[in-house]
Amino acid sequence: MPNPLVQECIARIRQRCPQVPDLGIVLGSGFAEVSSQVDVAADWSYGDLPGFAKASVPGHAGRLLLGRLAGVAVAVFAGRAHYYEGHGFDLITHPVRVLSELGARSLLLTNAAGGIRSGLKPGDLVVIQDHLNWMGTNPLRGGALPEGFVDLTEVYDAGLRQMLHAAAATLGCVLPEGVYAAVSGPSYETPAEIRALARLGADLVGMSTVPEAIVARQCGLKVAALSCVTNLAAGLGGRISHTEVLAHGRRLGPLAASLLNAFCQQYSRTVLSGQP
């Protein structure tokens, strides 16, 4: 059954901009600078879009931009709502459902994360290859069945991941891959929790991304995700603060923006032109 809030949001967007985005990009902490590279056709504050939560976390602008990035028609979500803010998963994943209804095929999610795996350090960008959902619930819970039984064997598309690696190569850098563990927050994890997550196979830990990825797969979108390591996880370094997260994010801003621009160039050459 069509979601009335999604349909209302689509109607409001279409009133100002008929562009159909091919790629959606969610900008987490550390990726805000990407917005400045978009050739914007129209933009909205989240507060003006039905079903969107106003941004309240520092580093999240709370705007939807429709336009082009490196020639690709994009919908850029500058900031996201978080579970730790008290929002339900329906609200958190609402932008993904809107993106799908707008006609997009792919979604690139970005976030700030704590590094767990030995060798990861603040300033690294990591391609997410898989995830652990430690948030305590699932965004599809309570929805219609069998539509809620979504295969998550390959959440993060191999082709899109390869485009991220190819984009990094054009910038002269190599991106490691890792498993991202999503927790509810807002408190940072304890050292014991980090040791447990490491034993379960987690390389990174954060408080977002997984609900959006699950709903995107339900909607049939191809998904890629990229983490910016902004701190070492608890017990692996010093004390952790959001100020530190934002500081490392700002330092990574230019590289993150260049990488996403290069990714869109790869996307244009491979997905849009059909070239191998």
Residue 239 burial (10 A CB sphere; 0-12, 13-18, 19+) = exposed
Domains and CATH numbers, the chain: 4-272 (3.40.50.1580)
84 annotated active-site? yes
Q: Is the pLDDT of residue 153 over 60?
A: yes
Annotated active-site residue in 35, 100, 227, 231: 231
Rounded mean pLDDT, 58-68: 83
Annotated active-site residue in 75, 81, 112, 216: 112
Where on the phi/psi map is residue 179: left (φ > 0), alpha (ψ -120 to 50), or beta? beta
Rounded mean pLDDT, 78-83: 93
Annotated active-site residue in 3, 42, 85, 87: 85
Phi and psi, residue 152, nearest 5°: -110, 25
Are 180 and 204 in contact by the 8 Å Cβ rule? The answer is yes
The tens digit of pLDDT for each residue in 207-220 reads 999 999 999 999 99
Under DSSP, the state recorded for 70 is T
Residue 272 or 68, more confident: 68
165 annotated active-site? no
Residues whose CB is less than 8 angstroms from the CB of residue 55 and which lie 6 or more positions away in sequence, other chains included: 46, 61, 62, 79, 81
Phi and psi, residue 31, nearest 5°: -120, 10
CB atoms within 10 A of CB 48: 12
What is the torsional sign of CA 154, 236, 226, 13? positive
Q: Alpha carbon 238 to chain centroid distance?
A: 27
The tens digit of pLDDT for each residue in 231-268 reads 999 999 777 777 777 776 777 788 999 999 999 999 99
Q: Is the pLDDT of residue 275 over 60?
A: no
The average confidence (pLDDT) of the chain is 92
Q: Given the DSSP bridges, would you call strands 125-134 and 222-232 parallel, antiparallel or unpaired?
A: antiparallel
Annotated active-site residue in 32, 33, 35, 60: 60
Give the residue ranges of DSSP H helices in 70-221: 89-92, 94-102, 158-170, 191-199, 210-218
Binned at pLDDT 50, 70 and 90, residue 59 comes out as: low
Binned at pLDDT 50, 70 and 90, residue 1 comes out as: low
Annotated active-site residue in 100, 208, 258, 261: 208
Binned at pLDDT 50, 70 and 90, residue 276 comes out as: very low
Q: If residue 243 lies in a helix (H) or strand (E), which one and from where to where?
A: helix 242-267
29 annotated active-site? yes
Question: What does the alpha-carbon distance between residue 47 and residue 41 come to, in Å, rounded to a whole number?
Answer: 19
Phi and psi, residue 8, nearest 5°: -65, -40
Q: Given the DSSP bridges, would you call strands 204-206 and 106-115 parallel, antiparallel or unpaired?
A: antiparallel
Question: What does the alpha-carbon distance between residue 59 and residue 87 come to, in Å, rounded to a whole number?
Answer: 18
Under DSSP, the state recorded for 160 is H
Question: HEC states along 207-222?
Answer: CCCHHHHHHHHHCCCE
Question: What does the alpha-carbon distance between residue 240 and residue 78 come to, in Å, rounded to a whole number?
Answer: 24
Q: Is the pLDDT of residue 99 over 90?
A: yes
Over pLDDT 70: what percentage of the chain? Answer: 95
